[in-house]
Amino acid sequence: MASLPGSDFGGLSEGGFDDKGSEASGPVAEQISFDLSKPCTCALSQKTSVSESPLTSSHLHDKHGSRRPWSSYRKVFDKASGVTYRVPQSKLCSLCRNVWKLLGFSHKYGNIAKYVKMIAEKGVDHAVFLASLDEWIKKHNANPNKHRLRNADDKDSVRDAKEKLLTKDEHGCEFEAPASHAAASPCLFVDICELGGDVADCAAHGQKCPVPQVDLLVLGTSCKDMSRANPCQHKDSAVLSQQVSRGGSAQTFQGMLSYLQSKCPPLVLFENVDAMDDSKGTDMNNMDIFLAETSARGYESQVCMTDAAEFGCSARRRRIYVLLVRTAVNPLLDFTTRPLTAAFATFRALLLGCLRGGPCVTQILFQESSEPVQLELGLRLDKRAKQREKDAEKKQGAPAPPQSWVEQHMQFAQNHRTLGDREQDALSLLQQCTPYIVFRDLSQSIVRGNSNTWRQDSSKHVMSTVLPRMVLWCEAQNRLVLGREALLMQGFPVQPFLQILAARMETMPLAQQWHPSEALMMDLAGNAMALPVVLAMVQCALEMALALGAMEALDSTAPMESKPQAEIAMSALDERIYKRARKGKQRRFQSGQFDDERQGPLDVIMGVVLLVNAFVVIAEQQTIGDRIASTFQLHPHDVPTETLYGLHHREPFFVFDIIFLAIYVAEQALRISVLRRSWLFDEHEEDAIEWGNLFDMAIVLFGLVDFAISVQVHDAARRSSSMLTRLLRTCRVVKTMRLLRVMKLFKQLRSLVETWYASLSALFWSMILLTICQMIAALVLCETSVPVLLDPDSPHKVSDKQWLFDHYGTFMNASYTFFEITFSGGWPALVRPLLEDFGFSFAFPCMLYVVLVVFAALRLISALFVRSTLQLLSNDTGAAVLERFEQSAETCHEKSRETTAVETNG
């Protein structure tokens, strides 16, 4: 429920507040009648103008009688009595208008019509307003005279009431902030939707303050609208495509866009849940809308998927961060001489250096005997004791239920007594279900209460994502986790902050002192961004230009006068980069794009062997082809099997096959003996199988099978008809696949193979689409061709009909013809005869196919593959930047050591 101001808030007339909105209200002496017109209905409370007033009996004898006071009146002349009355008009009662103004809803939602529309669309919780209305009525009835002006015409009274509206209310005490303090304090704007203008309402100063121009804007929207755990999220439409959303994400996004449009900050860092990129069943998801809207305002983006546990935190928090950089007139980054892709590649490389593991979550918890733990324990025990006293008063006379020995024993555990009945039951069930879990969330359902925090790879406990209003039970200390401990899990230095806050509060009056509760700090930990991640993002964004300048200075081949500039440019980064270079490239960035394969002498030797083997296979196949060509002249109807296999054992190619096979077998044996477990599993990823090594082993096994069959089979005639011959041919075909290993030797080829592998899914569905289009076109041409082919009186030549049958007469022929039309590029040779010999009706379907499929569909598919390629190459660019960092750092330190040695030797 929204908290209403204190009892001095609001001077009222006619049931509560100043009646400025009643322009046609007339003089006070005129009587009010509620029966001369049709009753009006309040749009906020749904009460009518003839409803009984909820105010106290002191108002029963005023001009309203016992009716509900209304916000606006109009004059009506009663002919029967000859008296002019004022009757209610509009759709708002005076009570709802008062509460509307006190809550500040006019600044938050605009006019009442918009608010009513939001209620109908379930974009706002109207129960907050109704609860505040009840609270205001209770305060009014408790002391009616305090809520009324002394005289409606007394201007001094109105001025006093307005001054009271500017006071602040905390914990029931009202005080006015000093003017000097208000001027020095930073602005705290109420609504982001107002930041697109020149001024906006400021809660810190109680007035409209100028909206400042900033260099860096960090913001995030509510995660409720786009969270996967939200059952009420919009399934059919993206949240960011709406103007109003229940969690406020749409309003925040619109306010951000208006601020970007008017203020144009150079850098923007946006944060939200990883479900922002999920598809909602529409053409564009939330991420697509975000990137499109920001791009239209002159911003380029770099999307990063992060986890707070990888940035030194003790708790996981998967979030998407989007770095927006303004490309035109950016005072922080100059893109006139440096490409934007290089800047983002530098940003990713710098961000890689910020990755680190955090401490075990059990190590950051306070000791059970510490002051914060004992203080919170006492507060919770007092709260539960008062609650049990109230429950006991309600259940007086009822027999107490029997308790087991476990329940009787747990009554003596202080921390267990701080839990409610539901939480105690949930804890017992969760402990019986999974006794080995260290942390349990008692605020969630039983299904989500347990979360395994143990990580096998690091041998540490990493907390799951901290949520607001979390009731987190720690089995290691048998107590609830404090809110300040949850902030520590998110990387916030909460202890120094609380110490500074406590020292400041001691200098303030007692009525103005404030200390955050553990529940509030738990909510802050569940709602706030992970501080180390934000700092890493901001630091890397601000150092992009510095890092680019450092690389350009180091890569320059200018004479010695440029050396001081290079040293100055590198001095801010060389220590951190040099440490990174010493550690080696063992981590991978963005799903393993940094490959650190061992390029030893064995790989180089085997690469040469593979290339020689490739040339031998080519020479062998060319020799066999020449023999077949010469044999066809002697035996045009039957090629003797001896031609292919009978002479093979007497040729040198068979000897080469044996030599290469022996080399491959020795290579595999050497790799297995040296690498052992690493030959089968990837050392960078736990339990990830090395499929490339298994593929190489399969090729070697096929070679052994080929050799065994070739040695055992002697009779050429037998070979031509036996199953062994077919198996031999299969083995020979598979043996040629060993040439794929050449792809590993060259980085460029490996990049292309990775791009092809990453695009397999898109390739599969693209082929399905093209196959369906080809089938439809083939069926259309088949149906069109059949009448012409079966018509004996057709004027077409027999040769033309034969051509039509060969290309479009059957479904298989037509399918292959459209395959040629699609991929060969020579479609005019297959379509032009249809137009010349059979008419336009045959050529028209082919024309549609060429326009819709050959032109449109193929270009869309090509664009899809280009997008995948650019994304992968962008990751390779980040790897290249990191390598240049490491090489530059090593070069700088070598030169520094040489210079130091020269200076030392004199």
69-78 pLDDT per residue, tens: 888 888 888 7
Higher pLDDT, 180 or 698: 698
Could you list the beta-strand ranges (E) of 732-891. Answer: none
pLDDT class of 579 with cuts at 50, 70, 90: very low
Q: What is the mean pLDDT of residues 623-639?
A: 59
The answer, as to whether pTM is greater than 0.85, is no
> Rounded mean pLDDT of 177-201?
73
User: Residue 242's pLDDT is what?
Assistant: 85
pLDDT at 821 over 60: yes
Which of 255, 174, 233, 3 has its CA nearest to residue 104?
3
Measured at the CA of 191, the angle between CA 187 and CA 193, to 5 degrees, comes to 120
pLDDT at 650 over 60: no
Could you tell me the pLDDT band of residue 789, with boundaries at 50, 70 and 90?
Answer: confident
Confidence of residue 638 (pLDDT cuts 50, 70, 90): low
Q: Of 157-161, 335-339, 561-565, which one has max mean pLDDT?
A: 335-339
Average pLDDT over residues 178-206: 76
Q: Is the pLDDT assigned to residue 276 strictly greater than 80?
A: yes
| pLDDT at 20 (0 to 100) | 36
| 123 token code pair | 């974009």
pLDDT at 888: 61
506 pLDDT higher than 80:
yes
**Residue scoring higher pLDDT (447 or 826):** 826
Domains in the chain, CATH or no CATH each: 1-176 (no CATH), 199-352 (3.40.50.150), 361-393+421-533 (no CATH), 536-580 (no CATH), 601-745 (no CATH), 760-877 (no CATH)
Percent of the chain with pLDDT over 90: 6
Task: Express as a percent the part of the chain with pLDDT over 70.
Answer: 66
> For residue 165, what pLDDT band results from cuts at 50, 70 and 90?
very low
Which residues touch 275 (CB under 8 Å, ≥6 apart)? 226, 227, 228
Any idea what DSSP says for residue 331? S
Q: Give me 581's structure tokens.
A: 């270079």
pLDDT: is 692 or 848 the higher one? 848
Statement: residue 398 has pLDDT above 70: no
Q: What is the pLDDT of residue 585?
A: 43
- Residue 737 is predicted with a pLDDT of 59
Does residue 706 register a pLDDT over 50?
A: yes
Residue 266: pLDDT above 60? yes
Q: How confident is the model at residue 157 (pLDDT cuts 50, 70, 90)?
A: very low
Q: Residues 88-99: what's their mean pLDDT?
A: 86
Q: What is the mean pLDDT of residues 412-427?
A: 75
Res 466 pLDDT > 80: yes
Triad 821, 824, 827: Cα angle to 5°: 40
**Average pLDDT of the residues of the chain:** 72
Instruction: Kindly indicate the confidence band of residue 271, based on its pLDDT and cuts at 50, 70 and 90.
Output: very high
For residues 682 and 807, give the distance between their C-alpha atoms in angstroms, rounded to a whole number: 52
> Please, how many CA atoms are within 13 Å of residue 685, restricted to the half-sphere of its CB?
13
Mean pLDDT along residues 484-490:
91
What is the C-alpha separation between 50 and 583, in angstroms, rounded?
81
- Residue-wise pLDDT for 283-295, tens only, equals 678 888 899 899 8
Rounded to an integer, the average pLDDT of 797-803 is 79
Please give the pLDDT value at position 168: 37
CA dihedral 330, 333, 338, 340 (to 10 degrees): -80
Q: What is the pLDDT of residue 535?
A: 93
Q: What is the pLDDT of residue 855?
A: 83
How far is 306 from 498, CA to CA, in rounded Å?
28
Query: In whole angstroms, how far apart are CA 298 and each of 211, 291, 545?
Result: 21, 11, 19
Q: In 10 A of CB 589, how many CB atoms? A: 17
- pLDDT confidence of residue 58: 45
- What's the rounded mean pLDDT across residues 828-845? 79
Residue 270's pLDDT band (cuts 50, 70, 90): very high
**pLDDT tens for each residue of 515-568:** 888 888 998 988 889 999 999 999 888 887 777 666 665 555 444 333 333 333
845-872 pLDDT, tens digit per residue, is 888 888 888 888 888 888 777 776 666 6
Name the band, by pLDDT with cuts 50, 70 and 90, for residue 776.
Answer: confident
Q: What is the mean pLDDT of residues 653-668?
A: 81
Output the pLDDT for position 755: 66
More confident residue, 64 or 110: 110
Asked whether 888 and 567 are in contact (CB, 8 A), the reply is no
Q: What is the pLDDT of residues 868-904, one digit of tens each?
A: 666 665 555 555 555 665 666 566 556 656 655 555 5
Question: Which pairs with CB-CB distance under 8 Å and at least 24 residues apart come from 784-790?
Answer: 784/808, 784/841, 784/842, 784/845, 785/809, 785/814, 785/842, 788/838
Cα gap 701→413, rounded to integer Å? 67
- Residue whose structure tokens are 């045959």: 842
More confident residue, 354 or 557: 354
